[in-house]
Amino acid sequence: MPGNGGSGGNGAGAGGGSRSLDRIDRAILRLLQQDGRASIRSVAERVHVSRANAYARIARMMEDGVIRGFTARVDHERAGHGASAYVTLKIVQNSWRTVREQLLTLPGVEHIALVSGEFDVLLLVHTVDNRALRELVLGRIQSLPAVLGTQTLLVFDETDQAPALPD
């Protein structure tokens, strides 16, 4: 449960289908987004249910893939990654799965998304410095056979906020 570490997978839960979330489930999710290390007891007290009920709800949401894991929110600059960027990619048609698997092996790639619009893929990357960023983009990403072109957008400042949950 909370504190187990690890990150989630692709969002597909082991249970296959997803059940709707009620008010208590959403309250539990908000608490865990604020503090993924919160104890079952603390969560139960704050949402006014028994520990067994809180445990069962969290376990169900994990099984359904609603909760994909528990992670630390990292200040990348303080962790030694002084350069962050969004990198857009144009790729060969129907090569998304192959490109995604190749990108997953690259150091510093935090987020990969297939998107619509002028480009096909959006990456968020973190590297030690601009030299390492240049090597990642020019040396590794642009050398992938299905990548037709890239554009790099340097991050000067960022604000992190937990995603809003539906009411």
**pLDDT tens per residue, range 58-84:** 999 999 999 988 877 776 777 666 899
Residues 47 and 29: beta-carbon distance below 8 Å: no
**pLDDT tens per residue, range 142-154:** 999 999 999 999 9
Domain boundaries, the chain: 23-63, 83-154
Q: Which residues pair with 113 in a beta bridge?
A: 122
> For the structural domain made of 83-154, what CATH number should be given?
3.30.70.920
**pLDDT tens per residue, range 94-109:** 999 999 999 999 999 9
CATH label, 23-63, candidates 3.40.1350, 1.10.10, 2.60.120, 1.10.3470: 1.10.10
Hey, what long-range contacts does 10-18 have (CB within 8 A, 24 or more apart)?
11/65, 11/68, 12/65, 13/62, 13/63, 13/64, 13/65, 13/66, 14/63, 14/65, 15/60, 15/63, 15/64, 15/65, 17/64, 18/64, 18/65, 18/66
Taking all residues of the chain, what is their mean pLDDT, rounded to a whole number? 86
- Reduced to 3 states (helix: H, G, I; strand: E, B; else coil), residue 36 is coil
**pLDDT tens per residue, range 7-62:** 344 444 444 455 789 999 999 998 998 888 899 999 999 999 999 999 999 999 99
